[in-house]
A and B are shown apart, each in its own frame.
Chain A
């Protein structure tokens, strides 16, 4: 492809021959990918010292094969466990996991809370499109109550996870939630997460106009972004709102930002002590 028609961040950071993307038109994954590359660019990080890991599902194709770095595209739900092995083995590498709500709230849920508990120095970006997109629109553990999907034709009887609360309770050092509308805040959070010396978790509520949009009757991605803007409530404001008032809202912001020694660093200290 002629490089002058390609976004400058892609010219700089995309794997050659990987411009062609598998995502559906209007998908939020492109926004998330651009935010990550922008964060890396603004921090002037060396891509050769970052390992991107991902699992299975739409969001797992954000770094694989697009990002021109070491990429480990793994099995469904397990990317955090693979990434734990990478980080512990070479603590000098920055490790970033791209995952989705099916990947890390359902099949890999335990790995998510355990990685947070271990406080392993990994930045996890969980793109939450509230549905199983790649497999054709089945209900997810993040699908709102009552929403009809391919496998909840009479409406979802269950309630969705609050993933940020879950990861905060598990012990993460940094927890934030934004939507694909809040790109500036997302870039700023990603920069923090990339530099954090502990487990960082960013949930990005993302539009899926093709699957989720079909079921809720909104096929226009721009309209979905406007809705995100309208229903988002900053964390500080949400503190003073009742449960009823928060119904149908997305609470955004930074929930946790603390300093606590990460597992890889703790292990390095042990090794230094043992091998004086």
Chain B
């Protein structure tokens, strides 16, 4: 199905809100189904999708809750459409059971979580990076996931496309872990000629040679489309390569859990992305991601003027965790300061993989839900080192 995006999206400079850029990215990636339940601060994605999608023969539907939103997205994906939903923390929680289902049934789909502040209802319009663990561990049992963290309006566009590409390539749900700051931010960004953008389509079975093995291949099995005669059997129960239920033999549980993990682990090198700056001569590495990276890059420029040799490693991929890249930054600098807008989530993972190579310290913002003030960060760097 052609994306049809060139009919409605002009290349060139755009001045948009992050959430709107996300919607445009989805359309460019070929998204043809979007389901949603209203929640702040993700609404603008849905509002724009409801305008855009019918123009490219896509479906927009508002469902009765976030549970049914992700459910209909999974159904649409099996009917052959690239599909997405968007939400914020409370809705993300409601989606978790079916995200696990999407992982287990190897269903490509994209879930945008525009994170907001605090547990429970919290403060909806304020940003926080509180769902990093939820993205990885929110559903039950054990499973791999891919999660990306955009830190600009431009990345709300490019990483939405990347999310679709990864979802289609590896037949897995992909989480775009944005937050209220990046979602509501307005910036200019360039949309290149659409033919320059790489778009990945899922692998479909060859009908003539199909052996009906549509699941549990660590190199990603081809995915049948409903209505084409494949007679696909899709179940969240423990199943074999043909999708048939086997809940009697524990060997099959082992097979499912391991095959799903290997599928992501084996291709981690091609999935994981980080961005580094000024690391070559750095004595401290600021490790950060998402909206907080915006302050970090400012701090690095300021601190370097005062003689502090600080560099930056920005995680674009949060899950699977970029352990090799973090270890490399740790070896280079010997000191890592993790900046995130919470009381410490990614920092624990950093300590786990890098503590033997570097001194790992954590710096939350002075007030959770607010930005790190540059001076506060620079003072911290001066005090500590």
Contact = CB atoms under 8 A, between A and B. Distances in A.
Q: Real complex partners, A and B? A: yes
Interface of A: 15, 17-18, 47-49, 51, 53, 64-65, 68-75, 78, 80-90, 92-93, 110-111, 114, 267, 270-271, 274-275
Contact of B232 (A70, A81, A89): A70
Nearest to A94: B227
B83 A75 contact: no
12 contacts: A15-B233, A65-B245, A72-B234, A73-B237, A74-B74, A81-B63, A82-B71, A85-B33, A85-B79, A88-B76, A110-B68, A271-B54
A110 B64 contact: yes
B71 A88 contact: no
Given A51-B226, A84-B72, A73 B64 contact: no
A235 B156 CA distance: 57
A93 B226 contact: yes
Interface size class, chain B: 35 or more
A87 B80 CA distance: 11
B57 interface: yes
A75 B101 contact: yes
Contacts of A70: 78, 224, 226-227, 230-232, 234
B227 A85 contact: no
| Among all A-B residue pairs, the 8 with the closest Cβ atoms | A85-B75, A85-B72, A81-B68, A89-B79, A81-B71, A85-B76, A73-B235, A82-B75
Nearest to A54: B235
B309 to A, nearest CB: 52
B59 A73 contact: no
Given A81-B67, A81-B68, A72 B228 contact: no
B233 A64 contact: yes
Contacts of A17: 244
B73 interface: yes
Interface in B66-114: 67-69, 71-81, 83, 97-98, 101
B227 A90 contact: yes
B229 interface: yes
B61 interface: yes
A258 to B, nearest CB: 23
Contacts of B35: 85
Nearest to B100: A75
B65 A71 contact: no
Given A15-B231, A84-B71, A110-B68, 14 more contacts: A53-B75, A70-B227, A71-B232, A72-B75, A72-B234, A73-B237, A81-B68, A86-B78, A86-B79, A88-B61, A89-B75, A89-B81, A111-B68, A271-B57
